[in-house]
């Protein structure tokens, strides 16, 4: 008996833009990319304007699997994208969270934290995320998200 074929990584299919289900809605949220990294805003319904992902182009399950180039670039890229999120949203700080369980491909959630919004404090931001998913909390305004993506694209091209 042969083992079933491994399911292609969803994040890889998004990164290389293959598969019809990963078409324009992902491309519309892509802020910028280079040969190693992709920066993308969270899809609708986005929990917060500026909830951004920094992911590897290459299939890498976690930090332990980074090649030397990716490892050397990770810190500077986290700083660069976090600073851009902070600049564009006016947030007080940016959380960086990576789990890698739901999608086994390294992608770091960069989440704006506003001191004036207790729902974004520490692990409460996970409750905020789930409340948006369940429709109990309104998602970020799609027009504000589109504006963020456009402004992030301008920062990324410079």
Structure confidence by residue, pLDDT tens digits, 126-138? 999 999 999 999 9
Sorted by where each begins, the domain ranges of the chain are 10-151
Q: Which fold has domain 10-151?
A: HIT family, subunit A (3.30.428)
DSSP state string for the chain: -PPPPPPPPHHHHHHTT-SGGGSHHHHHHEEEE-SSEEEEEPPSS-SSTT-EEEEESS---SGGG--HHHHHHHHHHHHHHHHHHHHHH--SEEEEE---SSS-S-EEEEEEE-TT-GGGSTTHHHHHHHHHHTTSSPPPPHHHHHHHHHHHHHHHT-
| pLDDT reported for residue 151 | 97
Q: Would the pLDDT of 49 be above 70?
A: yes
Structure confidence by residue, pLDDT tens digits, 77-125? 999 999 999 999 999 999 999 987 778 889 999 999 999 999 989 989 9
Q: How sure is the predictor about 28, in pLDDT bands with cuts at 50, 70 and 90?
A: confident
């Amino acid at each position: 008996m042969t083992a079933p074929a491994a399911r292609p990584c969803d994040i890889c299919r998004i990164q290389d833009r293959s598969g019809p289900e990963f078409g324009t809605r992902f491309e519309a949220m892509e802020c910028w990319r280079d040969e190693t990294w992709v920066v993308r805003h969270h899809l609708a319904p986005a929990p917060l304007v500026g909830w951004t992902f920094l992911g590897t182009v290459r299939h890498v399950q976690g930090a332990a699997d980074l090649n030397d180039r990716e490892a050397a670039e990770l810190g500077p890229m986290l700083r660069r994208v976090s600073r851009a999120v902070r600049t564009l949203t006016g947030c007080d700080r940016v959380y960086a969270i990576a789990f890698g369980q739901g999608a086994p491909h390294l992608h770091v959630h960069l989440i704006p934290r506003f001191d004036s919004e207790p729902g974004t404090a520490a692990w409460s931001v996970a409750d905020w995320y789930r409340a948006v998913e369940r429709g109990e909390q309104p998602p970020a305004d799609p027009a504000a998200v589109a504006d963020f993506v456009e402004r992030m694209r301008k920062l990324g091209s410079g």
